[in-house]
Amino acid sequence: RHLTGKTHVAGSDGDNQFATYIKERWEAAGLPMTHIDSYYPLLNYPISRSLTLLEPFRYDAVLREPAIAEDTTSGDPDAVPTFLGYSPSGNVTAELVYANFGGIEDFAMLAKNGIDVKGKIVLVRYGGAFRGLKVRAAELSGAAAVLIFSDPAQDGYKMGATYPDGPWRPPHGVQRGSIQYPTFYPGDPLTPFIAATKDAPRIPIEEAPIPKIPAIPISYADAAPFLKALVGHGILARTLSLNWQGGLDMDYWTGPAAKVNMYVNNDFKIKPIWNVLSIIEGKHEPDQAIILGGHSDAWVYGSVDPSSSNSVIVETGVALGKMYKSGWRPDRTIILASWDGEEYGLLGSTEWVEDHVEVLNRTAIAYINLDMGAYGPHFHAAASPSLANLIRDVTKGVKDPNSGKMDTPQGRVPRISPLGFGSDYVAFLQFVGVAAMDIKFEGDYGVYHSNYDSFHWMEKFGDPTWEYHKTLASIVGRIVLSLAHDEILPFDYAPYSYELTRYATDVSTALQTAEFPIEWASSLHEAIQLFSKAVNKLNKAIDGLSDIETKTNAEQMDEPKLVVQGNDNNEIMMITSFDADLSASKKHKKRPNAKKLNKILGFGERAFINKDGIPGRPWYKHVVYAPGEWSGYGAEMFPAIHEAIRAHNETRVLNAIAVASHQIQQAAEMLSP
């Protein structure tokens, strides 16, 4: 409740107060080395905006989210107005064109059918690609401005009852968000590759990967009159493709037609943001660090995004602090992090990683990310393949609050998705090569980035009993303590072998489709075979240690446990319990070769990092995973190869395959025991 009590957009007074609150909670609990790291990125804030349909009839868009009587925070006069992070200011009067989801393929479809968007205001709907890439596609197509609306087919009344009667977006609900171009790099737009410290050198804003044309988000109630003004003009949208028709009860037409004025006044400034960190140094392997992190900033109140996760991170820190005060020490170093500025473009985490890249390269073995942690009954995980079996093993021991067993869309055993773009794991995995995961409980959720993502929404629809928050906390606690205490790190690279083989098959198919010789992928397949053999040998070496005596039952009882409870204020409490005398570290024994194996297991992901990065976007250095060039959110596997194939550039294709094959061979060598 405290974390959703006031607005806390990045760089604001409320945001700073939240950072101070988290720091004080952790210090009071006993966490050591708790501090705030400040960075100075470029931010923007709304001053004023308007949107008017001038012809064929007049309509002045509302551009605000009205209060809902039963949701007390929805009427807060301090609520952040509807706007898009990094949109420039502008005043544009032009014809309107509807461009479906605003993907690069949608603009190509319009051009193919003779619809010119140059100089026009483009209306696109949420869904598909990341919102910033919609604006980028419009800008490259010559559009003068962009309107992005939430269509009821995606998260409104076509999905079910709308808030406050149901969990879906009400007619005037608006999705705020960043429109930075993540294709090139996340973090502060003005300081690529380096931390945005106060005196850091900065590139000119004109060179930054942010839009040069203005954009605003609007509701489907505001979008309806503009779509109505297009009826009968241009092409009937569903004749281009059925997915061009949205959920509003009218035919969608492309235009161009109508006359629209859009005015945006946003204030850009370099401002401080505040990461809160605490470091618990490991007693036996301090040079191996596990990082648990998630962001604290929100566009408005952020009950789901991010407070459902941030509350778990804060209370995990409190529990570990109490353990620390009682004498417990982890075998490996644990770092807790509450990141700032995630909503603008992963600012806090990216700047911190860029600031500490050399230390992280030497020490970081796993990053656990929480973002939008608990808002429904369905467990979902995305992770590096080496951590997939850890997630599966941990969730086997956790009961679903309702059904008694873990509920996932795939059934009993959760399928682990690949990590793309969208949260604070990006810099760890794709810039440094730290194995990462992102876990959550998800459900029906239509108030994303709106004024209605509130405590009341969560209490009524997201997690009324708070049991899924507690279950998430239990899973997180088990994962953190397993990584910090297991004698042999719980990494398994066998799933990586399987996934790489699958991805290489996709490369062969793409080569064939593009009419390139399929034999070009031979070196990739051969490298993966070497990798698979190395993984098999590594797993046999680990299995071979099972005959050597490990801890006695009494010693196993000394491991700390986190017990998750709740209180009358609907807050999560994680309390510590011990079956013995907090002396696990005193009775610490290591089997022969354990330290060597842990070095191999914990740092294997580094081998997939190519220092030169992806051609054209060198910040992304992982050869296996990167955000899609034109999707943003989703991961693309072997991105450099597929981008070269799409460009039909023979030299680039061969080079990308050679680089990926080399890195996989390096991984095979690194994983050899």
Task: Taking the CA atoms of 131, 133, 134 and 136 in sequence, report the sign of the dihedral they define.
Answer: positive
Question: What does the angle CA 274 – CA 278 – CA 280 come to, to the nearest 5 degrees?
Answer: 165
- HSE at residue 364, side-chain half, CA atoms within 13 A, is 28
Burial of 50 (0-12, 13-18, 19+ CB in 10 A): middle
Looking at residue 604, its amino acid is G
Q: Are strands 285-295 and 257-270 parallel, antiparallel or unpaired?
A: unpaired
Helix (DSSP H) and strand (DSSP E) numbers for the chain: 20, 21
Q: Is 170 helix (H, G, I), strand (E, B) or coil?
A: coil
What does the H/E/C string look like for 345-413? HCHHHHHHHHHCHHHHHHHEEEEEECCCCECCCEEEEEECHHHHHHHHHHHHCCCCCCCCCCCCCCCCC
- Round to whole Å and give the CA distance between 527 and 533: 10
- Round to whole Å and give the CA distance between 294 and 423: 8
- Round to whole Å and give the CA distance between 630 and 634: 9
Cis peptide bond upstream of 286, omega within 30: no
- Round to whole Å and give the CA distance between 92 and 188: 28
Contact between 568 and 473 (Cβ < 8 Å): no
Q: Is 263 helix (H, G, I), strand (E, B) or coil?
A: strand
- HSE at residue 538, side-chain half, CA atoms within 13 A, is 30
Show Cβ contacts of residue 45 under 8 Å, excluding neighbours closer than 6 positions. 9, 83, 266, 267, 269
Taking alpha carbons only, the member of 417, 439, 411, 438 closest to residue 426 is 438
Helix ranges restricted to H, 148-289? 152-155, 220-230, 237-240
Residues marked as catalytic: 342, 522, 622
Q: Is 526 helix (H, G, I), strand (E, B) or coil?
A: helix
Around Cβ 556, how many Cβ atoms within 10 Å?
A: 13
Looking at residue 213, its amino acid is I
Contact between 343 and 9 (Cβ < 8 Å): yes
- Round to whole Å and give the CA distance between 599 and 1: 42
